[in-house]
Amino acid sequence: MAKQVVPEAARRRRRPTRQGTVLSEELIVRTALRMLREHGSDGLTARRLGAALGADPSTLYRYFAGLDDLTRAIGEELTGRALDSWTPTGEWRSDLRALGLAIHASYLDHPQAAVLTASRVTGRPREIAVDEAILGLLRGAGFADPDAVVVYHAFIDLSLAFAALDAGSMVLKDEARAADEEMWNSTYAALPADTHPHIAATARLLAGRMTHSAYPVVLDTLLNSAAEQLSWARARRAPGTTNS
């Protein structure tokens, strides 16, 4: 059974840690992000986190119901940082593109944390604020609610899926990642045209392209499709338009 989280007001009355630091959710999350960067997901334990904070490991449970609750808070922090770095302009398509790129970049700033959290739904305030912003852009642009939800679903899953995919490559050991990238030159480029004519014809282009994220291209494809859908829906709603 999960331990009961202590209310925030009660936490603030706690004495400083052995290092003279007053604990907070924010400090614990920042420390957890640093530990993930240094040790990977296997290194994030209550014992190690307590040692890094200069506190008893049980102190964690005054702020979070457990490590899974902390994982959700880490995911919220990454989405929240994306929102903090984003400034809307009032043009739905460019604003949505900028927010998607901000989410992707925020996760890749902490690839170990991205691998751990990209598939999670936190239900926490800053994640909810991101979702509210996305849906607000779509509904404000004129998408009907069913269409707005479909585009929102595709947008957020696309952003997080590419964050996890690209972060997964980043957390590989340098030798493994270099070997994967070199495969486009050492293996694909060496395939003969008589057996693999299409790969042979595009080998140089593949080698130059496949070591980069496809997220911006796929994001633009989604947004272009959404814009066309919106134009079509507006045309159908225009006065004098008849449904076929």
pLDDT digits (tens, 9 = 90+) for 75-133: 999 999 999 999 999 999 999 999 999 999 999 999 999 999 999 999 999 999 999 99
Q: Quick one: CA dihedral 73, 78, 80, 81, positive or negative?
A: positive
Q: What percent of the chain has pLDDT over 70?
A: 89
pLDDT at 10: 54
Residue 13: which pLDDT band, with cuts at 50, 70 and 90?
Answer: very low
CB 36 within 8 A of CB 116: yes
Residue-by-residue DSSP string for 31-89: HHHHHHHHH-GGG--HHHHHHHHTS-GGGGGGT-SSHHHHHHHHHHHHHHHHHHT----
pLDDT digits (tens, 9 = 90+) for 193-241: 999 999 999 999 999 999 999 999 999 999 999 999 999 998 888 776 5
Architecture of domain 1-65: Orthogonal Bundle (1.10)
Q: Is the pLDDT of residue 145 over 80?
A: yes
pLDDT at 116: 94
Question: b/e per residue, 198-235, with b = 16+ CB within 10 A?
Answer: ebbeebeeebeeeeeeebeeebeebbeebeeebeeeee
| 3 state SS of 225 | helix
Distance CA 92, CA 191 (A): 45
Mean pLDDT of 138-166: 97
Q: Is the pLDDT of residue 61 over 70?
A: yes
Q: Indicate the domain borders of the chain.
A: 1-65
Q: Is the pLDDT of residue 6 over 60?
A: no
161-164: long-range contacts at Cβ-Cβ below 8 A with a sequence spacing of 24 or more? 161/118, 162/104, 162/213, 162/214, 162/215, 162/218, 163/103, 163/104, 163/107, 163/108, 163/114, 163/118, 164/107, 164/114, 164/115, 164/118, 164/119
Residue 1: which pLDDT band, with cuts at 50, 70 and 90?
Answer: very low
